[in-house]
Amino acid sequence: RLIVPTPAEARQLVELYAASPAKVSIVPHGVDRGRFSPGDRTVARAALGVTRRHVLAFVGRLQPLKAPDVAVLTLAELRRRRPDLDVELLVVGGASGNGGGEPARLHRLAATNGVAGRVRFLAPQPHDRLATIYRAADLVLMPSWSESFGLVALEAQACGTPVVAAGVGGLLHAVGDGTTGVLLANHQPDCWADTVARLLSNPRRLAAMGAAAARFAGANGWDRAAARLLEIYGDLVREPVLEQMG
pLDDT given for residue 101 in this prediction: 81
In this predicted structure, the answer to whether residue 106 has a pLDDT above a threshold of 70 is yes
pLDDT given for residue 148 in this prediction: 85
In this predicted structure, the answer to whether residue 71 has a pLDDT above a threshold of 60 is yes
> Could you tell me whether strands 139-142 and 54-59 are parallel, antiparallel, or unpaired per DSSP bridges?
parallel
Q: Classify each residue of 201-213 as buried b or exposed e, where b means 16 or more C-beta atoms within 10 Å of its C-beta.
A: eeeeebeebbebb
* pLDDT tens, position by position, 194-244: 999 999 999 999 999 999 999 999 888 899 899 999 999 998 888 765 455
Angle of helix 203-218 relative to helix 151-158, nearest 10 degrees, comes to 110
**Is residue 2 within a helix (H) or strand (E), and if so which, with residue range?**
strand 2-4
pLDDT given for residue 243 in this prediction: 54
Mean pLDDT of 176-186: 97
* Measured distance CA(29)–CA(150) in Å, rounded: 9
